[in-house]
Amino acid sequence: MHETSSVPPHKIIGVAVIRNNQGQILIDRRHQKGAMGGLWEFPGGKVELGETVQECIKREIKEELGIEIEVGEHLITVDHTYPHLRVTLTVHYCCHLTGIPQPLECDEVRWVNLDELKDFTFPEANVEIIDALLKNAAAHK
């Protein structure tokens, strides 16, 4: 018998760190069913063929939360392998322009302060995003 190495599928994900005028960040809770159900995350989604990461982020936020954003500077790119999936998260700061965030494709949305992020349970790959946010905030004080 041959041993086959199972390589998990790879998804390239555009991720938004959306800030409001009060400096809070928008997070959402994943649906209970499915991979990493019930965990909190920064909104975003899979980059489609022929789409830039920035276009993906703008589209996904409109589809998932029903709001308009402006995609800003790149924060971090995180490569992470879960047992079932490999992800490359390309994270951009974004500004909330118009609309009230709605949980269209998630269970809940919430505006939180940066120091409150530690109170929520995120998927492993998001830990690096939170660390980058905290380092960046400390550097800009």
Residues belonging to the binding site for Mg(2+) are 44, 64
For residues 61 and 45, the answer to whether their CB atoms sit within 8 Å is: no
Question: Residue positions in the annotated binding site?
Answer: 30, 41-44, 64, 126
Residue entry with tokens 């392998």: 81
Question: Residue positions in the annotated binding site for 8-oxo-dGTP?
Answer: 30, 41-44, 126
Dist. CA 125–CA 116, nearest whole Å: 18
- Long-range contacts of the stretch 44-50 (C-beta < 8 A, 24+): 44/13, 44/14, 44/15, 44/16, 44/89, 44/91, 45/13, 45/14, 46/11, 46/12, 46/13, 46/14, 47/12, 47/13, 47/14, 47/90
